[in-house]
A and B are shown apart, each in its own frame.
Chain A
Amino acid sequence: KNEVEQSPQNLTAQEGEFITINCSYSVGISALHWLQQHPGGGIVSLFMLSSGKKKHGRLIATINIQEKHSSLHITASHPRDSAVYICAVNFGNEKLTFGTGTRLTIIP
């Protein structure tokens, strides 16, 4: 069965802390996505990965294909990073299978 698991479900941290959100999936994938959803509802695609590591500003995404695991890191976290972060996977086709999301709250 194609499944995506995310942890933690909720994460509260102080401003400036280093944040890690994890995502595991059950079988081989074509691509893995990290998405950000703000309280207003809009979804932004942060990264699409099939191997290795990508960095954009304070955000870093890594993927380990052998271990079927990806992490999203946020360095020097800021209250504006507060959002729901969603891991989503293409299991060999165009449709996305979503993780349950991680609600991140950064306290000033």
Chain B
Amino acid sequence: GAVVSQHPSRVICKSGTSVKIECRSLDFQATTMFWYRQFPKQSLMLMATSNEGSKATYEQGVEKDKFLINHASLTLSTLTVTSAHPEDSSFYICSALPPGSYEQYFGPGTRLTVT
């Protein structure tokens, strides 16, 4: 099946620094990728839809200047958490959507801890 990777899998950073998370589709091209956030024992919350070559579409309540998304190629989207604060600590998951399909392939997730 299709494979999506995420890097890093785990990151600890100090408050005020920025962290970049990469999401790659390894064996297919994805014009659309999604970024999710998940709090403990809760379901996934969609943060934004990342479209190759265009600006990301953010969900209501998600600060686009805080969570910068870049989808520079058909296999790579990045999420940068800028000026991270402890409340940004969470599990971030990406997914990639092959063209013409509804089936999303999920990355393994990145656990961010901001101290």
What residues of chain A have their CB less than 8 Å away from a CB belonging to chain B? Answer: 30-31, 33, 35, 40-45, 48, 86, 90, 94-96, 98-101
Contact = CB atoms under 8 A, between A and B. Distances in A.
12 contacts: A31-B102, A33-B104, A35-B106, A40-B108, A41-B91, A41-B93, A41-B109, A43-B93, A48-B103, A95-B49, A96-B34, A96-B104
Best-surrounded residue of A40, A98, A99, A100 (most CB of chain B within 10 A): A98
Contacts of A35: 106
Name A's interface SS.
strand
A96 B43 contact: no
A100 B43 contact: yes
B74 to A, nearest CB: 16
Given A41-B38, A43-B109, A98-B43, 15 more contacts: A30-B102, A35-B106, A41-B109, A43-B106, A45-B103, A45-B104, A48-B102, A95-B34, A95-B46, A95-B49, A96-B34, A96-B44, A99-B43, A100-B42, A101-B43
